C-alpha cells in the first residue's frame, strides 16, 4: 500500500516519540507535535533556530560528536540528552539521528526523541538505594531493625566490626540477649517502652564481644517505626562509646586524684570519709594524718625531681601497708591521709600510726645516697557528731601537736645500746643500794607567785656517772620491768617528804604530783598500793595528783595484760586522788580523746610552751589547749616556763599554774623545804618576776 502525504503525516503525528528534522547546522526545519508536547514549546517557535541552544551544556559535546557521525553513517547510536523545556526544566530524551536521504526539497537529519525522564529517575533512585545501603553498611554506627518483641531482623556491618559477631547470628535473636547479664533487663525494658513511645528512647548498655575478653559499652537510640508501612519495626542505632567512656573515666580520675602519686585527692578523700561515716555502725572511722618531717630540705637541697620521687615512694609504701578498702590520699605538699574502717580500739589505731610512721621513715635512695625523712602521724576517731571535715581537721591537729612535740624530743639524750645494758644491771642494784632519789620542782600560781604544789621527779645518783635524769634511765627501767618498783619507791618517798614538810610548816597546803609509768597504770594492785601509802603518811587523797603521759594511757602494757589503762584511772579516782594528763599534745591521739578520760588536770607539754609569745603556731596551740581544759572543767598547768614573757602570755591566755626553770629546777627535798620556808611563802606575783 502506498501512503499519500496526508496519511504519512497523520502517522508521524500519531507517534508517541517526537520527530525533528534539523539541518546540518542544527537548525530546526520541522517537528511533530509530540515535540511540543514533550518540551512545551509551540511547534513553530523554534523554526529556523538551532536546537543545539536547548541542549544541556554538559551534553553538547556528545551531541556534536553524534551529529558528525550521523552525517557519515546511515543511522547514529541512541544517546540520552538533556533538553530544556519551556518551563526551564531538563528532560531526558533518548535521541537517534539518521541522515535524510532522497526526500525531495529537504536536506538534513531526521531525529526521533523519546522521553526517558521517568526511567532515569528510577535508575537514580535505585542507585541511591544501593548507595544508602552501602552507607549504612559501612557506617560506624550499628543500625538494626527489630520487631515489636525486640527480635533483630536486620543489622548493619558495624555490629560485626564492633562486637566481632557474625551479623547472621544475631538475626532472629533478641537484641537484649547480647548484653552483659547486668544490662539485659534495662535494654529489654527500653525496647519494650519504645513500642509505645512517640520519640526516641535512649539507653546505655554493654554488649559482650565475641572474644569474651572485653565488653563494649554502647549507647542505644530506639525509634518506633512500627506503623511505617515500609519499615514496620523498631529502628535501633547503637554507638560504640568505649573511647568516650574511657575519656570520661580519665577526666573523672584526674578530677579526683593527685597527678603525681595517683592517690586520692582532697575532694575524693572527703567523699570517702563521708561514705565511711555513713557505713560506720559500731567501730569508728579512723583518719590518720601523715606529715613528712624532712621533706623541705630534700626538695630544697636535692631538687624537685628528687622531691617528687620521694613523694611517689612514700605513696607506694603507704599503699602497700594498707588494704584496698582503705583510702590513701595526698593533700598536696608532703601531707598524706589514710582512712581505715574497723579499728575498734584506740591502741590498735596507735599501732597503725606507728607502723605508718615506720614505713615512711625507711631511707629512700635519692641522688647521691639514701635520704631519710621522718613522718609525724596523728589520728582522729569518729564519734556520732563527726563530719569528714571535722575528722580531718582533728587528725591534722593531732599530727601538728606530735610534730611540735618532736622538736623538743629530738633534743633529749640518746644513750647507746652497750651503755643501756650496763645501766639495766646497775638499776637493779640501785634500788637496793639507795641510789635513787626524789627531787621536787615547784608548781607556781602565776597570779600570786606562791607555790601551790610540787612535782616529784626521780633521780639516780650513779656511783660512777653521777646524777642521772629520768631521760637517761627510765626507758631502760621499763624495758627491764623495773619501773613499777621505781614508781612505788618514788610515791612512798614523796608522800614521806610531803608529810615531813607539812609537819615543819604549819598550815602548808601543797599538792604533790607523782608520775606513773605505763606499766604501773595497768597494774591491778596499783590503787590498793596508793591507798596504803596515803594511809601510812596521813596524806589526804586530794593532795596527791598522779600524772600519766598521754602516750601511756593509749599504750597497753608491754607485758601483755589486757587490762585497759582506763580501769585504773577510774579506781584511782574513786580513792579521791587527782589525775593529770602529762605531756599533753605529744601522744598520738586527738584532743577529743581526752574528753573520755576521768582526769582533773592537763599539763601542757614544754615543747609547746617553748615557743610561747614567739612562735605564733605554738601560741595558738597552747591557747587551744587552755581553751579545751577550760571547756572540760580541767586545770591547765604549763610545763617548762623559762622566760618571763612565757609566764605573761600564759596569764593572758587564762592559765594560772606553771612550773619551769624560771622559778626553780627540781631540788632535793631538804633544799626544797628550806625554800618553802624562806622564799615561796610570800613570792611576788608574775609582774615582779619579770
Footprint on this chain of ligand C2E (rule: CB under 6 A): 441, 457-458, 469-471, 474, 487, 490, 515-517, 547, 549, 582-583, 606, 639-642, 659-661, 666
Cα 514 to Cα 440, 490, 606: the distances in Å are 10, 8, 17
- Min CB(547)–Mg ion separation in Å: 4
CB of 308 or CB of 642, closer to ligand C2E? 642
- Residue from the set 395, 583, 587, 599 that interacts with Mg ion by CB under 5 A: 583
* By CB under 5 A, residue 582 contacts Mg ion: yes
Task: Choose among Mg ion, ligand C2E, none what residue 569 binds, the Cβ cut-off being 5 to 8 Å by kind.
Answer: none
- The CA distances from residue 318 to 261, 323, 334, 360, in Å, are 11, 10, 13, 7
Q: From the CB of 520, what's the least distance to ligand C2E, in Å?
A: 7
CB of 665 to ligand C2E, least distance (A): 6
- Choose the one of ligand C2E, Mg ion, none that binds residue 642, judging by a C-beta under 5 to 8 angstroms depending on kind: ligand C2E
Consecutive H or E run containing 687? helix 686-689
**Shortest Cβ distance from residue 660 to ligand C2E (Å)?**
3
SS (H, E, C) 428-455: HHHHHCCCEEEEEEEEEECCCCCEEEEE
For 6-127, strand residue ranges (E) read 18-22, 28-31, 79-84, 90-100, 108-115
> Residue 326 or residue 583: which is nearer to Mg ion going by CB?
583
| Shortest spacing between CB 250 and ligand C2E, in angstroms | 53
Binding mask 650-689 for Mg ion (x = CB under 5 A): ----------------------------------------
- Looking at 68-76, 152-160, 178-186, 509-517, which segment touches Mg ion (CB under 5 A)? 509-517
Distance CA(214)–CA(175), nearest Å, equals 18
Smallest separation, CB 559 to Mg ion (Å): 23
Distance of closest approach, residue 444 Cβ to ligand C2E, in angstroms:
11
Q: Which residues of 243-252 are buried (b: 16+ CB within 10 A; e: fewer)?
A: eeeeeeeeee
For ligand C2E, which is the closer residue by CB, 268 or 516?
516
Handedness of CA 252, 255, 258, 264 (dihedral sign): negative
With binding defined as CB under 5 A, does residue 357 bind Mg ion? Answer: no
Residue 593 C-beta-side C-alpha neighbours within 13 Å: 28
Q: Which of ligand C2E, Mg ion, none is residue 469 near (CB under 5 to 8 Å by kind)? A: ligand C2E
Contact partner, 449, from ligand C2E, Mg ion, none, Cβ < 5-8 Å per class:
none
| Order of strands across the sheet that contains 215-225 | 152-155, 142-146, 233-240, 215-225, 200-208
- Cα first-last separation, the chain: 153
555 binds Mg ion (CB under 5 A): no
Nearer of residues 115 and 547 to Mg ion, judged by Cβ = 547
* H-assigned helices in 146-294: 158-163, 167-170, 181-194, 242-256, 266-279
**By C-beta, is 83 or 494 nearer to ligand C2E?**
494
Answer with the entry of Mg ion, ligand C2E, none that 640 interacts with (C-beta below 5 to 8 A by kind): ligand C2E
Residue 537 binding result from Mg ion, ligand C2E, none, given CB thresholds of 5 to 8 Å by partner type? none
Report the DSSP beta bridge partners of residue 215: 208
**Whole-number Å distance between alpha carbons of 486 and 429:** 12
Q: Which lies closer to Mg ion via its Cβ, residue 159 or residue 460?
A: 460
Burial class (CB in 10 A: 0-12, 13-18, 19+), 191: buried
Instruction: Take residue 130 and report the three cell numbers written for it.
Output: 544501593
Q: Is residue 240 involved in binding Mg ion (CB under 5 A)?
A: no
Q: Which is nearer to ligand C2E, 38 or 658 (CB)?
A: 658
- Nearest approach, Cβ of residue 639 and Mg ion (Å): 5
Q: Residue 323: helix, strand or coil by DSSP?
A: coil
Residue 12 neighbours by CB distance under 10 Å: 15
Residue 661 binds which one of Mg ion, ligand C2E, none, with CB within 5 to 8 A depending on kind? ligand C2E
Q: Which is nearer to Mg ion, 115 or 583 (CB)?
A: 583
Give the SS3 label for residue 354: helix
Write down the residue that cell numbers 525496647 correspond to: 191
Give the C-alpha separation, 289 to 403, whole Å: 11
Question: Whole-number minimum distance, CB 444 to Mg ion, in Å?
Answer: 15
β pairing state of 578-584 and 108-115: unpaired
- Quote the least distance from Cβ 639 to ligand C2E, whole Å: 5
With CB under 5 A as the contact rule, which of the stretches 140-148, 504-512, 577-585, 586-594 interacts with Mg ion? Answer: 577-585
- Packing angle, helices 616-631 and 388-409, rounded to 10: 120
Q: Are 88 and 41 in contact (CB under 8 A)?
A: no
Contact pattern from residue 395 through residue 434 relative to Mg ion, giving x for each residue in contact according to CB under 5 A and a dash for the rest: ----------------------------------------
Assess contact for 494 and 512: CB atoms under 8 A: yes
Q: Which of residues 617-646 bind Mg ion (CB under 5 A)?
A: 639
Which of the choices ligand C2E, Mg ion, none does residue 143 contact, using the CB cut-off of 5 to 8 A by kind? none
In whole angstroms, how close is the CB of 634 to Mg ion at the nearest point?
A: 15
Report the partner that residue 458 touches, choosing among Mg ion, ligand C2E, none (CB closer than 5 to 8 A by kind).
ligand C2E
* Window 510-549: residues binding Mg ion (CB under 5 A): 515, 547
Distance CA 334, CA 311 (A): 7
Q: How far apart are CA 517 and CA 457, in angstroms?
A: 12
457 binds, among Mg ion, ligand C2E, none (CB under 5 to 8 A by kind): ligand C2E
70 interface partner picked from Mg ion, ligand C2E, none, CB below 5 to 8 A per type: none
- Beta carbon nearer to ligand C2E, 352 or 488: 488
- In the complex with ligand C2E, which residue's Cβ is closer, 36 or 437? 437
Binding site for Mg ion (CB under 5 A): 515, 547, 582-583, 639
Amino acid at each position: 500500500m502506498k501512503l499519500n502525504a496526508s496519511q504519512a503525516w497523520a502517522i508521524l503525528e500519531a507517534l508517541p516519540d517526537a520527530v525533528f528534522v534539523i539541518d546540518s547546522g542544527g537548525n530546526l526545519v520541522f517537528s511533530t507535535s509530540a515535540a511540543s508536547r514533550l518540551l512545551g514549546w509551540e511547534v513553530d517557535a523554534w523554526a529556523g533556530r538551532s536546537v543545539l541552544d536547548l541542549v544541556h551544556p554538559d551534553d553538547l559535546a556528545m551531541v556534536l560528536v553524534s551529529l558528525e557521525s550521523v552525517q557519515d553513517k546511515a543511522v547514529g547510536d541512541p544517546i540520552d540528552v538533556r533538553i530544556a523545556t519551556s518551563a526551564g526544566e531538563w528532560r531526558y530524551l533518548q535521541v537517534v539521528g539518521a541522515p535524510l536521504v532522497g526526500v525531495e526539497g529537504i536536506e538534513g537529519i531526521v531525529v526521533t526523541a523519546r522521553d526517558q525522564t521517568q526511567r532515569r529517575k528510577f535508575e537514580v533512585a535505585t542507585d541511591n538505594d544501593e548507595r544508602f545501603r552501602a552507607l549504612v553498611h559501612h557506617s560506624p554506627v550499628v543500625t538494626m531493625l527489630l520487631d515489636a518483641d525486640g527480635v533483630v531482623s536486620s543489622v548493619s556491618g558495624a555490629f560485626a566490626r564492633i562486637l566481632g559477631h557474625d551479623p547472621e547470628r544475631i538475626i532472629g535473636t533478641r537484641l537484649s540477649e547480647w548484653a552483659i547479664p547486668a544490662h539485659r533487663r534495662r535494654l529489654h525494658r527500653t525496647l519494650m517502652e519504645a513500642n509505645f513511645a512517640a520519640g526516641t528512647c535512649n539507653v546505655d548498655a554493654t554488649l559482650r564481644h565475641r572474644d569474651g575478653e572485653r565488653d563494649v559499652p554502647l549507647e542505644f537510640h530506639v525509634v518506633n517505626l512500627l506503623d511505617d508501612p515500609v519499615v514496620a519495626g523498631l529502628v535501633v542505632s547503637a554507638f560504640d562509646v568505649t573511647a568516650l567512656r574511657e575519656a570520661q573515666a580519665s577526666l573523672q580520675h584526674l578530677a579526683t586524684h593527685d597527678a603525681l602519686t595517683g592517690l586520692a585527692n582532697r575532694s575524693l578523700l572527703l567523699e570517702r570519709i563521708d561514705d565511711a561515716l555513713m557505713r560506720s555502725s559500731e567501730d569508728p572511722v579512723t583518719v590518720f594524718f601523715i606529715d613528712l618531717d624532712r621533706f623541705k630540705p630534700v626538695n630544697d637541697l636535692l631538687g624537685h625531681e628528687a622531691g617528687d620521687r620521694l613523694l611517689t615512694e612514700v605513696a607506694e609504701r603507704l599503699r602497700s601497708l594498707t588494704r584496698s578498702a582503705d583510702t590513701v590520699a595526698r593533700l598536696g605538699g608532703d601531707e598524706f591521709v589514710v582512712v581505715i574502717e574497723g579499728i575498734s580500739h584506740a591502741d590498735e589505731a596507735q599501732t597503725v600510726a606507728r607502723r605508718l610512721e615506720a614505713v615512711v621513715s625507711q631511707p629512700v635512695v635519692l641522688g647521691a645516697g639514701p635520704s631519710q625523712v621522718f613522718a609525724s602521724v596523728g589520728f582522729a576517731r569518729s564519734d556520732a557528731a563527726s563530719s569528714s571535715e571535722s575528722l580531718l581537721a582533728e587528725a591534722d591537729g593531732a599530727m601538728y601537736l606530735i610534730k611540735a612535740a618532736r622538736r623538743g624530743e629530738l633534743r633529749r639524750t640518746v644513750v647507746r645500746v652497750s651503755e643501756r645494758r650496763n645501766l639495766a644491771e646497775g638499776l637493779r642494784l640501785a634500788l637496793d643500794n639507795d641510789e635513787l632519789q626524789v627531787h621536787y620542782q615547784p608548781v607556781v600560781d602565776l597570779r600570786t607567785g606562791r607555790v601551790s604544789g610540787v612535782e616529784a621527779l626521780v633521780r639516780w645518783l650513779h656511783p660512777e656517772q653521777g646524777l642521772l635524769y629520768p631521760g637517761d634511765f627510765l626507758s631502760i627501767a621499763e624495758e627491764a620491768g623495773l619501773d613499777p618498783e621505781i614508781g612505788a619507791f618514788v610515791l612512798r618517798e614523796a608522800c614521806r617528804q610531803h608529810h615531813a614538810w607539812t609537819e615543819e610548816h604549819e598550815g602548808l597546803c601543797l599538792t604533790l604530783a607523782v608520775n606513773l609509768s605505763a606499766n604501773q597504770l595497768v597494774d591491778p594492785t596499783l590503787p590498793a598500793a596508793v591507798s596504803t601509802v596515803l594511809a601510812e603518811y596521813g596524806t589526804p587523797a586530794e593532795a596527791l595528783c598522779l600524772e600519766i603521759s598521754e602516750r601511756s594511757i593509749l599504750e597497753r602494757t608491754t607485758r601483755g595484760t589486757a587490762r585497759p589503762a582506763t580501769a585504773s584511772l577510774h579506781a584511782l579516782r574513786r580513792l579521791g586522788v587527782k589525775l593529770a594528763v602529762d605531756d599533753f599534745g605529744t601522744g598520738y591521739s586527738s584532743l577529743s580523746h581526752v574528753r573520755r578520760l576521768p582526769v582533773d588536770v592537763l599539763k601542757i607539754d614544754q615543747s609547746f610552751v617553748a615557743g610561747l609569745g614567739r612562735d605564733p603556731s605554738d601560741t595558738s596551740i597552747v591557747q587551744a589547749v587552755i581553751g579545751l581544759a577550760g571547756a572540760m572543767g580541767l586545770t591547765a598547768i604549763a610545763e617548762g616556763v623559762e622566760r618571763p614573757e612565757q609566764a605573761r602570755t600564759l596569764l593572758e591566755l587564762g592559765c594560772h599554774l606553771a612550773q619551769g626553770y624560771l622559778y626553780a629546777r627540781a631540788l632535793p627535798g631538804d633544799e626544797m623545804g628550806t625554800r618553802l620556808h624562806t622564799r615561796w611563802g610570800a613570792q611576788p606575783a608574775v609582774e615582779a618576776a619579770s
